[in-house]
Amino acid sequence: MGQSMPVSAMPVSSVRVTEVERITPRTARVTFTGDALPDVLEDRPDQQMKLCLPREGRSVLKLPEMDADDAHGMRWYEAYLAIPEAERPWTRSFTIRSHDRARGTMTVDFVLHGDTGPAARWGARARPGDVLGMVGPSSLYARPLRSAERMLLAGDETALPAIATLLEALPHGTRALVYAEVADAGEEVALPDAEAEVRWVRRDAGGSLVEAVRDAGAFGGAFGGAVDAAWVAGEASAVRALRRHLVQERGLPKAAVEFSGYWRRSLSQDDAPTSEDLAWAAERAAGSA
């Protein structure tokens, strides 16, 4: 999964499902191919993009064509918004779990949290041959990690694809401490081999990502000490609470904490941003300037 980002100013293409694998009871890993993938995929971690999903009851995806001279995608986005709402595809943000530029393929993990949203519904029913639209990815939204000797990576199951790519990209000598919140032990996925210590937080056992990090003392054990930088993503209110904790109680500089609210409890990406959402988006943008 990924944070909400503008649809304009990014490449638009189509992708087709070639394989669907249920990697946990609540996660479907979908492999896509597409003619544009070798050109738009980049060799970097945490590549975020949007997938355009057909509305319920529609098997054909209705999307406008992208003009070659529409450099910033604004005309495409205006045409997209002009599609009647009942026909307009849903757009949802994701992080690419892995890709193969030579073969023109990518894999995306769908968290299946019931029939409560278009992405979960589509992911549960995905079949080879299904076609979606894709907006992005774009290096305009790439956020390189800070250099650090010890790094904290924290998130829920929606952040696991990004965490995995970040672990794969860690420079030699950087140690990582991962806190990952999942529903139960069945949702614990294999993470890449790295100089990392992984601590799973299970909701069925009463675990909470925020409480687990807050109660961790000096992040001792095999990890051996305080962190120099952090990356936090997942449900927005949990991300905000963790960032406040890391800055105010752990003493990390604000610039050392990269954060993204991937989803909002009781709200979707189609709902208007709250005043707190806007304030945090402005602060995040200011931190990257």
Average pLDDT of adjacent 10-residue blocks, the chain of 289 residues: 53 94 97 95 92 85 76 79 92 95 96 84 95 88 80 96 95 91 96 88 97 84 76 95 95 93 66 50 52
Give the bridge partners for 24, in sequence order.
Answer: 27
Query: Which residues neighbour 114 within 8 Å (Cβ) at sequence distance 6 or greater?
Result: 120
Q: Looking at this protein, which amino acid is placed at residue 79?
A: A
Nearest-10 crossing angle of helices 275-288, 236-244? 60
pLDDT at 271: 43
List the structure tokens of 45. 């971690």
List the structure tokens of 97. 């779990």
Would you say 25 and 187 are in contact if contact means Cβ atoms under 8 Å apart?
Answer: yes
User: How many CA atoms lie less than 13 Å away from 26 in the CB half-sphere?
Assistant: 16
For the stretch 198-244, pLDDT in tens is: 999 999 999 999 999 999 876 766 566 788 999 999 999 999 999 99
For the stretch 117-140, pLDDT in tens is: 899 999 999 999 999 999 989 777
Q: Strands of the chain (E only): list them.
A: 12-24, 27-33, 48-53, 90-100, 105-111, 131-135, 150-156, 175-182, 196-202, 229-235, 257-263
Q: What gap in Å lies between CA 74 and CA 66, rounded to an integer?
A: 10
pLDDT at 142: 72
Residue 142 burial class via C-beta count within 10 angstroms: exposed 0-12, middle 13-18, buried 19 and up: middle
Would you say 45 and 168 are in contact if contact means Cβ atoms under 8 Å apart?
Answer: yes
Answering whether pTM is above 0.85, one says: yes
List the structure tokens of 225. 């000490």
Question: What domains does the chain contain, in order, with CATH numbers?
Answer: 12-140 (2.40.30.10), 143-288 (3.40.50.80)
